[in-house]
Amino acid sequence: MSSETDIVQVDPRQLPATSFTTSDIARIELVQSAAGNGRRHHEYARMVGEDQAQAGDYVRLAKIVLANDSLLKDAVITERARGTSWEILAEVLGMSVEEAEKAWGAVETRWRRQTPVTSVYRKDPGSYAATADMYIVTGAWVHGPSEGRPLSASLDAAAHLTGRDVEAADRAFAGTPACTHCSR
């Protein structure tokens, strides 16, 4: 993220929902997923720390926390939305390309078919981006103005406000050189 995005205050709630790209929506959902998992893990740790459990609760609740862990699914979807190949994902996941596509391809396809009617993130992405910014800045779900908007300032939808070069950011994410004549 360039320093330009740090200067400009972006209120994602003011951006039209249609200005958010597929990559933006995926990144918003990924932060929401990470925050939800963090909250569940915090509640689990508190249960252990306060010693309010009964026999079997540690394992029973750990299974529930793990069963609700959508972070990997959301991370794969976000990587694919940003253009990451199945080859790279397969390598990172420690499986073959065929196994990766079989495991995650249908999930990605279902996600891409969502509409503003079927997904709250597509209906009101700005509101969810603002909430994600608050979580990133404070580490908690709080309401009110955020001191910074790290996610929102880096969204493609805000590029016209921040001067962010979306193509350069996509190339950097993919590990592609920004300059076609050299490796910089």
Q: What is the pLDDT of residue 69?
A: 67
Q: What is the pLDDT of residue 61?
A: 79
In a domain, 181, yes or no: no
In a domain, 168, yes or no: yes
Question: Shortest CA distance to 9 belongs to which of 152, 132, 163, 155?
Answer: 152
In a domain, 65, yes or no: yes
Question: Shortest CA distance to 101 belongs to which of 83, 82, 87, 112?
Answer: 87
How many domains is the chain partitioned into structurally?
Answer: 1
100 CB-near residues (< 8 Å, 6+ apart): 86, 89, 90, 93
Q: What is the pLDDT of residue 2?
A: 44
Q: How far is CA 153 from CA 35, 48, 173, in A?
A: 19, 38, 16
Q: Which domain holds residue 34?
A: 4-174
Q: What is the pLDDT of residue 148?
A: 66
In a domain, 184, yes or no: no
Cα separation, 8 vs 158, in Å, equals: 10
In a domain, 145, yes or no: yes
In a domain, 182, yes or no: no
Burial of 86: CB neighbours in 10 Å, binned 0-12, 13-18, 19+: buried
In a domain, 49, yes or no: yes
Question: Shortest CA distance to 125 belongs to which of 13, 6, 1?
Answer: 13
Cα separation, 91 vs 103, in Å, equals: 14
Angle at 119 (CA atoms; ends 165, 33), nearest 5 degrees: 70
In a domain, 70, yes or no: yes
Question: Shortest CA distance to 155 belongs to which of 39, 8, 35?
Answer: 8
Farthest-apart Cα atoms in the chain, separation: 65
pLDDT tens-digit profile, the chain (184 residues): 444 444 556 788 888 888 899 999 999 999 888 888 888 888 888 877 877 777 777 787 777 777 766 888 898 999 899 889 999 999 998 999 999 999 999 999 999 999 999 999 999 998 888 888 888 877 766 555 556 677 887 888 877 777 777 777 767 676 655 555 544 4
